[in-house]
Structure 1
Amino acid sequence: MNEHDRRQIRGADADPRTARRDGAKEQTGAEGGYSDLATSPFRMDRDRIVASPFFARLGGVTQVVSAGGSGLLHNRLTHSLKVAQVARSIAERIQAEPDTRELAAKLGGCDPDVAEAAALAHDLGHPPFGHLGERVLDRIARHRYGLADGFEGNAQSFRIMTTTDVRGPSAVGLDLTAAVRAAVLKYPWLRLHFPSPHPGELPIPPRGAGEPEDGPGTGSAKFSAYSTELDDLVQARAPYGGRIEAWQQTVEASVMDTADDIAYAIHDLQDFHRIGVLQHASVATEFGRWTADIATLSSLDTSELGTDRRRPGYSLERLRRRMHAKDGWIVDDEAFIQAVHRVRNELVDDLLAGPFDGSIEAEQAMASFSARWMSRLVEGVQVAPSVSTRSGHVLLARAQWHEVQVLKFVHRRFVLLRPDLALHQRGQASLLSTLVDALDAWLVDRDEASRLPRRLHDLVELAHEEYAALAAHAPELLVGATGEPVSGADAVHELARGRAVVDFVASLTDRQAVTLLDALSGRSTQPWSESFVL
């Protein structure tokens, strides 16, 4: 290894993007206790992420519904791998064209290794049972433990990378470069406190920065860091000062975000066609009725449109109006009509027209659909010097943007809103709530405190150090869920206990959550031990 490579690894190179979180000296081989095989700093980051047990556990975490061991449905691991594939392809295309390469460099840079690493890491923080688990843990964190930050999958991913994983040289996070840490910040702000003014206060807030409709006063619906990781966020974003706005994604974060949208729009639809959930008749009826009755549906009063939410054609019309309300910077009715026609022709009337029967022909049709759409969407990626607050600098062209919205609509309307999925998820929500109750009871049982799972014990100590430091040095960040200041040792301990329990539960796979609750509830007759959990 030459001296140039050593300087890059240490973060002492002229490029501040290679600066590592710890600012530690190079650690290699047995003497340093940590060995990297790659010499490129960004390839090192990719390798560290892939080697993390938090990455491995994604193979047991739901993407939309539990795979049940069939191997036919995407999980968070296979999803992350495909997002990484798309992200690298987009970044390489940007680098291949002189104009886009120059523009990306002015905005802070676009390295394919950084985009790929960020894509691999972007879902590290997803809890058991996917987005359902995210909502349950957020409610528990805010309402039960008074954590104003609550729980958010993106913020949890950043916390794992910078704090709770111990695979880095100093056993605090993964010690990744600034570029990769910044590229994971899809929503580069805190829920409530940072930056100032908060992006949620902008006339047109960035995607995710506004408050959720069902949670006024709770802060941003989406955010990428908790108050405990604010210093890490600031450090990671430092190389981009003066290049992009405080609330904007880096170019590489925008690449990752766009790749996530593309993969989600295509692969989840394939999953549910494969297992027979996505039915041709219902989807075809929705698209056919809206296409035939455009004029009538567009003239309906908004209240009338909402009276019968399942009437064919109504859902697509509500989508069109919602897009106008939120994304007037890009939405266009003609482009929307063309997108509906394209999705209807290629998804509804072609792929879904026949049931998936496992035949060679069915597999080839699926592969052809995926390849055709992935190619079309990736080719539609652009880099723009000036964009709406609703978009990153890397974005889809108008036609492809509308097509992704329609594809995601099919998934949301005909999969996520199914009553059988709701039944399944209500059970999962109850399971997670009961598991938190059981772990919390164990934590406050003084007679059993010495027999806590070691990992949970360590997480309590870590969280207590973090909240005690905030109380001493940044008390303005230490507020409860009601927005009132938190003070006193007991209050700090309560916050720490809540964060530790949430961290612990969020680190489980679906199956680990189920079997751990069985053990805690006395339903399991066999001793149970997993080193990563206990």
Structure 2
Amino acid sequence: MEGTAHPAHHPPYDPTSVARWAPEPDKRPGRTAFQRDRARVLHSAALRRLAGKTQVVTPGQRTPGWDASPRTRLTHSLECAQVGRELGAALGCDPDLVEAACLSHDLGHPPFGHNGEEALNEFARDCGGFEGNAQSLRLLTRIEPKRFTEERSVGLNLTRAALDAATKYPWPRGARPGDPASVKFGVYEDDRPVFDWVREGAPATRTCFEAQVMDWSDDVAYSVHDVEDGLHAGHVDPGCLLADPEREDIFRVALGRYVPADTDPAELAEALDRLLDMEWWPHNYDGSARAQARLKDATSQLIGRFCLAAESATRDAYGGGRLTRYTAELVVPRAARLECAVLKAVADRYVIQRAEQEQLRADQRIVVAELAEALVGRAPDGLEPQFRALYDRAADDRARKRVIVDQIACLTDVSARSLHAYLTAPLAKLS
């Protein structure tokens, strides 16, 4: 591309890329900086907690036809990491760096998935809001206890490149390019010092190449796997994808949410038909062992299709060599993006929008709101020791509220309900 330096003219990862906020020696010579980053994320408590956080279906929830083992934030992150590692390596990225970013990308998500994120954002509107990606940066650089300076915790103390690769939205609240009203952002105001260090020398609001690989891998993993889970659970009837009224519903869901609102629905119909015409598409899925194997093959085919489309288009644009950091942009063909968006809309329409799921989400919003208010009224009671100490040292009400948000964000679905019951039951008895 014109104006973009060829990656061969630059070292893949220079000393600034492998620098850490708090300098530290390598305890085991022979390991790369990015291998250490990957290991730190993989062994973190924050990653383990994702096993108890909602992806689409609440962990442990049993529904007719469901095998009681739905994907969680943890399994999604592991699958995203596998996709990202292979795609990144094919394009010349350090595979451990991309894997560390993929494992990190959802660490800041609170209990109850995006539903919990919306409830926490409402609670935190007067102290900077809440956004799962900004929370991930905060967790990696402040909350997750691994390294300390004399002043405070520096979290996992990952390299600059690893933190940058995990940053989907490199701008503060209200500063998204072209859309200042967007709720998506990547840093809270009191985390600006480390964010500015991470972004030192980076083009403003531009995501690095590894973050783009991570972002596409995330889209691929959850779009494909959510449809797989929906078919396996019986929520998605393959025949409905051939019926015009059902298809129109899917396209309405996609418009504005997964594709620009001015997208021609005919393009979405063509994208869906391309997938349905594939010889490996799991038509007439009935849950039998043979059908399950066919579904699993379709999942692999879809992931390969989307990754190869991005790999080929990016290589066509940039040629060979290692593509890293700010030497290239990931090129995803429009056809692949539309196919991915249609899959997201299918899962949204038939899994997320089920009536019982909306009832559950309403209950979850109440739990988060009541838990937050109970902690405001009773803190430091109810706070874990780590957050109790931060609460006691907080300079003002705004800072104390942020500590409460941090505590809630670290909870799993079950621990959020448990803490809610503990803090609200005594109040209920007094009323």
TM-score by shorter chain over 0.5:
yes
Structure 1 residues 276 and 342, CA gap change in structure 2 (3 angstroms)? same
Cα distance, 1:172 vs structure 2: 2.0
The answer to whether 1:55 aligns with 2:47 is yes
Which one of 428, 436, 459 corresponds to residue 372 of structure 2? Answer: 436
- How far, CA to CA, are the matches of 1:135 and 1:73 in structure 2? 22
- Given that 2:254 and 2:342 are in contact with CA atoms closer than 8 Å, whether structure 1 keeps it comes out as no
Cα distance, 1:159 vs structure 2: 0.2
- How far, CA to CA, are the matches of 2:391 and 2:373 in structure 1? 16
**What is aligned with 1:175?**
157
The answer to whether 1:364 aligns with 2:293 is yes
Aligned length: 393
**What is aligned with 1:530?**
none
- How far, CA to CA, are the matches of 2:130 and 2:296 in structure 1? 37
**Structure showing greater Rg:** 1
Cα distance, 1:316 vs structure 2: 4.5
Which one of 161, 172, 186 corresponds to residue 224 of structure 1? Answer: 186
Structure 1 residues 151 and 59, CA gap change in structure 2 (3 angstroms)? same
- Given that 1:72 and 1:271 are in contact with CA atoms closer than 8 Å, whether structure 2 keeps it comes out as no
Cα distance, 1:129 vs structure 2: 0.6
Which one of 106, 116, 122 corresponds to residue 133 of structure 1? Answer: 116
The answer to whether 1:499 aligns with 2:413 is no
- How far, CA to CA, are the matches of 1:323 and 1:51 in structure 2? 34
**What is aligned with 2:17?**
17
Structure 1 residues 27 and 513, CA gap change in structure 2 (3 angstroms)? same
- How far, CA to CA, are the matches of 1:360 and 1:83 in structure 2? 25
Cα distance, 1:360 vs structure 2: 2.2
The answer to whether 1:342 aligns with 2:274 is yes
Cα distance, 1:238 vs structure 2: 1.4
- Residue 91 of structure 2 aligns to a residue whose secondary structure is helix
Cα distance, 1:168 vs structure 2: 2.3
**What is aligned with 1:395?**
331
Q: Residue deviations 1:1-54, cap 9 Å, x none? A: xxxxxxxxxxxx9521001022x23163xxxxxxx6862001100101111101
Which one of 323, 326, 333 corresponds to residue 260 of structure 2? Answer: 326
- Given that 1:343 and 1:406 are in contact with CA atoms closer than 8 Å, whether structure 2 keeps it comes out as no
Letter in 1 for 2:399: A
Cα distance, 1:519 vs structure 2: 2.3
Structure 1 residues 157 and 85, CA gap change in structure 2 (3 angstroms)? same
Which one of 507, 515, 520 corresponds to residue 423 of structure 2? Answer: 520
- Runs of at least 5 residues in structure 1 that lack an aligned partner in the other structure: 1-12, 29-35, 96-109, 193-197, 212-219, 290-310, 386-391, 444-448, 469-492, 524-534
Describe how 1:127-276 pairs up with structure 2 within 5 A: 127-142=110-125, 146-147=126-127, 149-168=128-147, 170=149, 171-192=153-174, 198-200=175-177, 205=178, 209-211=179-181, 220-240=182-202, 245-276=203-234
Q: Residue deviations 1:377-413, cap 9 Å, x none? A: 110113357xxxxxx9213222212211111111122
Cα distance, 1:312 vs structure 2: 4.0
- How far, CA to CA, are the matches of 1:262 and 1:415 in structure 2? 17
Q: Residue deviations 1:76-110, cap 9 Å, x none? A: 00000011111111111112xxxxxxxxxxxxxx3
- Given that 1:343 and 1:407 are in contact with CA atoms closer than 8 Å, whether structure 2 keeps it comes out as no
**Larger RCO (CA within 8 A; separation ≥ 6):** 2
Structure 1 residues 50 and 321, CA gap change in structure 2 (3 angstroms)? closer
Letter in 2 for 1:140: F
- How far, CA to CA, are the matches of 2:355 and 2:345 in structure 1? 17
Compare 221-230 and 433-442 and name the one that shifted more.
433-442
Q: Residue deviations 1:186-226, cap 9 Å, x none? A: 0000003xxxxx443xxxx2xxx442xxxxxxxx3201111
**What is aligned with 1:26?**
25
Describe how 1:37-116 pairs up with structure 2 within 5 A: 39-68=31-60, 72-95=69-92, 110-116=93-99
- Given that 1:190 and 1:227 are in contact with CA atoms closer than 8 Å, whether structure 2 keeps it comes out as yes
Structure 1 residues 37 and 417, CA gap change in structure 2 (3 angstroms)? farther
Letter in 2 for 1:393: E
- Given that 1:121 and 1:157 are in contact with CA atoms closer than 8 Å, whether structure 2 keeps it comes out as yes
- How far, CA to CA, are the matches of 1:81 and 1:416 in structure 2? 22
**What is aligned with 2:4?**
none
Cα distance, 1:314 vs structure 2: 3.4
Cα distance, 1:456 vs structure 2: 2.7
Cα distance, 1:326 vs structure 2: 2.8
Cα distance, 1:332 vs structure 2: 7.3
Structure 1 residues 351 and 459, CA gap change in structure 2 (3 angstroms)? farther
**What is aligned with 1:314?**
248
- Residue 16 of structure 1 aligns to a residue whose secondary structure is coil
Letter in 2 for 1:338: E
- How far, CA to CA, are the matches of 2:205 and 2:291 in structure 1? 45
Q: Residue deviations 1:414-461, cap 9 Å, x none? A: 222222110111011111111112222212xxxxx5885423312324
- Given that 2:187 and 2:195 are in contact with CA atoms closer than 8 Å, whether structure 1 keeps it comes out as yes
Structure 1 residues 239 and 461, CA gap change in structure 2 (3 angstroms)? farther
Cα distance, 1:355 vs structure 2: 2.8
Cα distance, 1:239 vs structure 2: 4.4
- How far, CA to CA, are the matches of 2:20 and 2:284 in structure 1? 52
- Residue 394 of structure 1 aligns to a residue whose secondary structure is coil
- How far, CA to CA, are the matches of 1:75 and 1:39 in structure 2? 31
Structure 1 residues 369 and 450, CA gap change in structure 2 (3 angstroms)? closer
**What is aligned with 2:323?**
none
- Given that 1:335 and 1:398 are in contact with CA atoms closer than 8 Å, whether structure 2 keeps it comes out as no
TM-score computed with the length of structure 1 as normaliser: 0.68
- How far, CA to CA, are the matches of 1:440 and 1:141 in structure 2? 12
Which one of 117, 120, 134 corresponds to residue 103 of structure 2? Answer: 120
- How far, CA to CA, are the matches of 1:415 and 1:451 in structure 2? 34
- How far, CA to CA, are the matches of 2:338 and 2:110 in structure 1? 30
- Given that 2:275 and 2:281 are in contact with CA atoms closer than 8 Å, whether structure 1 keeps it comes out as no
- Given that 2:268 and 2:338 are in contact with CA atoms closer than 8 Å, whether structure 1 keeps it comes out as yes
